[in-house]
């Protein structure tokens, strides 16, 4: 793209503090903010009619499936889903095949993200070799690689051995890294299918007790405190977990936590449909848990919203509940659900959304070029949402290569109007465009098999 068409004057925006404003972009950075900005001769003018502008969203928990499971998702298709959902940076979980436990794999994923050109893709390194929970992976080599990995996780698996967890926490301390724990005590969840409670007994599905999550969270905040390192808890789902994080933070323990959009909206009652689209790890919990999660996110006990976007091909979801894979799509609907559950309910304002979905995840991941306040001189990563417009989710229209969205057929409130990544629109007027190659658009969306590997 030549410099002449990369200058934009975005008008009719509402900033997170409620004031209306225009934003001017040139050369990938914000050059002016204010009311009725004068148009430069080479500006493309886009009017957003009062929609809310946020700093570009950052996801700390994304499964992109490449390398190894490209039938479910690729770095390219996942990046496109990200752009469509307002994200400018996503974090690729390590449970690929091969596992991202070496500098070679994380550099490959990082490079694929750069060439796709829809978002920065920051690989997460595995904590242990092959996610086996035993021997530490090449943490130092991944940290020193071109991918500059700072977040390490065995997500999908819990690092359940406390000594391995301790060593990992000690190791990442040297370079300011963080261990992101999938908190699930495996011996308490063998064969578990859904939240343990009244509904699991009624349905005859093996229950997954809250204590399996809470016991690991409690252990790990104590370990993090003991070795004075940094811990992040993935996808918190229980009221008790929120209480433990609150307690740990009050004691000054260096812990952060995330909640997914689906755990802010859905409950274990959805399992009564026996539709495995609602089967997810960790499981959907009770109304009481959902309330505690919303409250925890609003008061900052929970630091961020992270999608846990987990694509699966149809054959792994359209089957019996017991046989189905765990996981659901998240990138494209996340901001709508946060809008609906937190903003439209009055629990959170837009500045808090900017914090939970941009500033804080970028800070936790050490993504230096992201999560900055909208200001002159800041990189022009922007997300624009019309918070009152509604739409019906249609799984056949997702940008992701998989279709396992639990929100299919639901009406959601809040429609993404535009995503700007490094000053260029990756999603605008319903159209996805790579910052490198506008031609990627038609291939990636229309074509099931997709493009680019
Ligand atoms: Zn997980």
Question: What tokens does 51 get?
Answer: 């929609």
Looking at the predicted structure, is the pLDDT value of residue 168 above 60? yes
Has residue 256 got a pLDDT over 80? yes
Calpha distance 126→179 (Å, rounded) = 10
* 445 falls within a domain: no
- Give pLDDT, residue 6: 87
For ligand 1, the distance from its centroid to the CA atom of residue 160, given in whole angstroms, is 13
Tell me the residue range of the domain where 270 lies: 55-365
What residues contact 238, with CB distance under 8 A and at least 6 apart?
210, 213, 214, 285, 289, 292
How far, in Å, is the centroid of ligand 1 from the Cα of 148? 22
pLDDT at position 3, please? 41
Distance from C-alpha of 225 to C-alpha of 238, rounded to nearest angstrom: 22
* Distance in Å, CA 307 to ligand 1 centroid: 10
Say if 452 falls within a structural domain.
no
Q: How far apart are CA 286 and CA 271, in angstroms?
A: 11
Eight-state DSSP code of residue 236: -
Confidence of residue 102 (pLDDT cuts 50, 70, 90): very high
- In terms of Cα–Cα distance, which of 57, 90, 119 is closest to 355? 57
Asked whether residue 444 is domain-assigned, the answer is no
Percent of the chain with pLDDT over 90: 95
Q: Domain check: are 399 and 279 in the same one?
A: no
Q: Are residues 269 and 302 in the same domain?
A: yes
In this structure, what CATH number is given to the domain that contains residue 178? 3.20.20.140
Tell me, what's the pLDDT at 260? 98
Compute the distance from residue 280 Cα to the ligand 1 centre, in Å: 9
- Å from CA of 241 to ligand 1 middle: 15
Residue 449 pLDDT > 90: no
Q: Is the pLDDT of residue 183 over 50?
A: yes
Distance 157 CA to ligand 1 centre (A): 7
Does the structure show a pLDDT above 70 at 447? no
Do residue 194 and residue 74 come from a single domain?
Answer: yes
> Are 81 and 94 within one domain?
yes
Centroid of ligand 1 to alpha carbon of 153 (angstroms): 9
Q: Is residue 1, in this structure, part of any structural domain at all?
A: no
283 and 148 share one domain? yes
Q: Are 71 and 317 in contact (CB under 8 A)?
A: no
Average pLDDT of the chain, as a whole number: 95
443 is a domain residue = no
Q: Are residues 163 and 44 in the same domain?
A: no
Q: Where among 365, 389, 405 does a domain terminate?
A: 365
Looking at residue 450, what is its pLDDT? 33
Q: pLDDT tens-digit profile of 198-223?
A: 999 999 999 999 999 999 999 999 99
Say if residue 28 is in the same domain as residue 174. Answer: no
- Tell whether 187 and 318 lie within a shared domain: yes
Q: What local confidence, expressed as pLDDT, does residue 442 receive?
A: 41
Question: Ligand 1 centre and the CA of 99: distance in Å?
Answer: 15
Same domain, 48 and 59: no
Question: Percent of the chain having pLDDT more than 70?
Answer: 95
pLDDT at residue 26 above 90?
A: yes
Catalytic residue among 22, 308, 394, 396: 308
Identify the CATH number of the domain in which residue 402 sits: 2.30.40.10
Q: Are residues 65 and 112 in the same domain?
A: yes
Q: Is 308 one of the annotated active-site residues of the chain?
A: yes
Residue 413 CB coordination number (10 Å): 17
Q: How remote is the CA of residue 182 from the centroid of ligand 1, in Å?
A: 5
Q: Say if residue 439's pLDDT is above 60.
A: no
**pLDDT above 70 for 444:** no
Query: Where among 334, 365, 396 does a domain terminate?
Result: 365
CB 243 within 8 A of CB 233: no
Residue pLDDT, tens place only, 354-385: 999 999 999 999 999 999 999 999 999 999 99
Rounded to the nearest whole angstrom, what is the distance from the C-alpha of residue 342 to the centroid of ligand 1?
Answer: 23
- For residue 451, what pLDDT band results from cuts at 50, 70 and 90? very low
């Amino acid at each position: 793209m030549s410099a002449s068409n990369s200058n934009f004057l975005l008008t009719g925006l509402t900033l997170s503090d409620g004031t209306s404003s225009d934003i001017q972009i040139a050369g990938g950075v914000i050059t002016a903010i204010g009311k009725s900005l004068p148009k430069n001769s080479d500006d493309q003018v886009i009017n957003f009619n009062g929609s809310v502008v946020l700093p570009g969203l950052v996801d700390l928990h994304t499964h992109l499936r490449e390398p190894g499971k490209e039938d479910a998702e690729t770095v390219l298709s996942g990046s496109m889903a990200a752009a469509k959902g307002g994200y400018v940076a996503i974090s690729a979980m390590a449970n690929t095949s091969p596992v991202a436990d070496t500098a070679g794999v994380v550099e490959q994923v990082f490079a694929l993200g750069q060439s796709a050109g829809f978002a920065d893709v920051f690989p997460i390194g595995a904590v242990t070799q092959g996610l086996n929970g035993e021997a530490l992976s090449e943490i130092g080599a991944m940290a020193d690689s071109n991918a500059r990995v700072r977040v390490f996780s065995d997500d999908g698996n819990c690092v359940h051995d406390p000594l391995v967890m301790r060593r990992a926490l000690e190791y990442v301390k040297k370079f300011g890294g963080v261990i992101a724990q999938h908190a699930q005590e495996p011996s308490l969840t063998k064969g578990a299918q859904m939240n343990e409670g009244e509904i699991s007994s009624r349905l005859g599905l093996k229950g997954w007790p809250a204590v399996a999550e809470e016991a690991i969270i409690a252990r790990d905040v104590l370990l993090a405190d003991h070795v004075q390192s940094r811990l992040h808890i993935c996808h918190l789902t229980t009221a008790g977990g929120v209480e433990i994080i609150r307690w740990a933070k009050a004691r000054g323990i260096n812990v952060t936590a995330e909640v997914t959009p689906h755990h802010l909206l859905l409950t274990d009652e959805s399992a009564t449909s026996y539709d495995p689209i609602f089967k997810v790890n960790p499981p959907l919990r009770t109304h009481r848990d959902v309330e505690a999660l919303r409250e925890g996110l609003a008061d900052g006990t929970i630091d961020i919203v992270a999608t846990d976007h987990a694509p699966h091909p149809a054959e792994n979801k359209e089957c019996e509940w017991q046989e189905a894979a765990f996981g659901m799509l998240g990138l494209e609907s996340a901001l709508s659900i946060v809008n609906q559950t937190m903003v439209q309910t009055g629990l959170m304002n837009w500045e808090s959304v900017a914090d939970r979905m941009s500033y804080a995840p970028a800070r936790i991941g050490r993504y230096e070029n992201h999560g900055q306040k909208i200001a002159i001189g800041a990189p022009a990563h922007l997300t624009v949402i019309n918070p009152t417009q509604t739409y019906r989710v249609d799984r056949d229209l997702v940008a992701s290569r998989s279709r396992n969205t639990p929100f299919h057929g639901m009406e959601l409130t809040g429609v993404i109007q535009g995503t700007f990544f490094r000053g260029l629109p990756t999603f605008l007027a319903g159209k996805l465009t790579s910052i490198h190659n506008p031609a990627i658009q038609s291939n990636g969306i229309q074509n099931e098999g997709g493009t680019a590997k």
